[in-house]
Amino acid sequence: MHNFSKDKLKKIFIDGIMFIIGSFFFAISVNIFTAPNNLAPGGFIGIATMLAYLLKLSNNYIGILNIIINIPVFIWAWKDSGLNFIAKSAIATILSAIMIPLTSFLPMYTSISNGGIVPDAEFNMILVAILGGVTGGFGIALIFMRGGTTGGVDIVASLVGKHARHVSIGKLLFVLDAAILVASAFIYKNLESPLYAAIVVFVTTKVIDAMLYGVDIGKGKMMFIISPKNKQISQKIMTDLSRGVTELKSRGSYTGKEGEVLLCAVRRYEVYKIYDLIHSIDERAFIVVGDAGEITGEGFRDSSENIK
């Protein structure tokens, strides 16, 4: 029990560090690249950015507005999937809200217009959009790696996916982001804002994919799980994460006892979520994680992509 407590504290510490670093880079993206240049980069943070503009509030309030917009989503997620489902996302969202005002002074010292070296609108808007996507994507990916999110449409998409399996999560996210980008054209009264914001969204997505899945989205992890509570674990994985689980018949060489090994293919960032889920049921479960060089099928790469 002592070892488990030590491991758990270590995990919480690493989660906290990653959330702080991720929130820092996310805040840099907002303060230096997107908000000052009227770019609403999709998601709830894009809505918060536009609201701050409409209400004539400083960029310091973007994080607070993001929390307010997320409150109904967090309540929905809590009632639908329990506190564990949203705990890390709520923490990451709050940290991001705190980090945005803490880093609001940076543009005064870093932008080219103020004698710094960081590109701004006066220098090159395409470069601004790309760097906004890189810093934002890097920060969000760090948070995703530890099982959190910055709230918003990611949680909405997960909840919708649980109740409407026929709905494509990727397409749903695309539609929501597209609606926000279109709205930004009317809010900022120009067509350039949504076009540059689209670059931010595109680059952000690519950076997140590269960090979480590698350069190939078909790659992932294979998890082998052995526990006397396999039935509960497999049910929890299928219910909470919408991942399929295969039961493999096994026999212990030493004991000669027949049993089952669970096999589950997941994306890289989901490994941490499944670790938490398994240990909430069985702290002593035996888990083996291996690289999957290629995963095709539902929830991963479409198998038709391999047909040349």
Q: Are 12 and 169 in contact (CB under 8 A)?
A: no
Q: Are 15 and 21 in contact (CB under 8 A)?
A: no
At residue 251, the 3 state secondary structure works out as strand
**C-alpha pair distances (Å), 267 with each of 8, 104, 145, 223, 305:** 22, 34, 10, 10, 18
Over residues 248-295, the pLDDT tens digits come to: 888 777 777 788 899 988 876 677 778 878 888 888 888 888 777 655
Is 209's pLDDT higher than 70?
A: yes
Is 50's pLDDT higher than 90?
A: yes
Percent of the chain's residues with pLDDT above 90: 18
Q: What is the pLDDT of residue 65?
A: 92
Q: Under 8 Å CB-to-CB from 288, ≥6 apart: which residues?
A: 223, 224, 225
Tokens 């749903």: give the residue. 172
Which residue in 159, 102, 121, 96 sits closest to 34, CA to CA? 121
Sketch the domain layout of the chain as residue ranges: 2-213, 220-306
Q: What is the pLDDT of residue 18?
A: 92
- Backbone conformation region of residue 300, classed left if phi is above 0, alpha if psi is from -120 to 50, else beta: beta
Q: How far apart are CA 279 and CA 285, in angstroms?
A: 7
Q: What is the pLDDT of residue 199?
A: 93
Over residues 145-202, the pLDDT tens digits come to: 877 777 777 777 767 766 665 655 556 777 888 888 999 999 998 888 899 999 998 8
Which residue in 51, 60, 15, 46 sits closest to 153, CA to CA? 46
Q: How far apart are CA 88 and CA 270, in angstroms?
A: 13
What's the distance, Cα to Cα, between the start and end of the chain in Å? 53
**C-alpha pair distances (Å), 235 with each of 231, 241, 299:** 6, 10, 18
Element (H, E) at 159: helix 153-163
CATH code reported for the domain at 220-306: 3.30.70.120
Q: What is the pLDDT of residue 55?
A: 92
Higher-pLDDT residue of 158 and 54 is: 54
Structure confidence at residue 302 as a pLDDT band (50, 70, 90): low
Average pLDDT in the chain:
81
How deeply is 143 buried, as exposed, middle or buried, from its count of CB atoms within 10 A (0-12, 13-18, 19+)?
Answer: buried
Mean local confidence (pLDDT), 51-59: 91
Q: What is the pLDDT of residue 293?
A: 61
| DSSP state for residue 29 in the 8-state scheme | I
Q: What is the pLDDT of residue 174?
A: 75
**C-alpha pair distances (Å), 164 with each of 24, 167, 169, 172, 274:** 35, 6, 10, 11, 22
Structure confidence at residue 5 as a pLDDT band (50, 70, 90): low
Structure confidence at residue 1 as a pLDDT band (50, 70, 90): very low
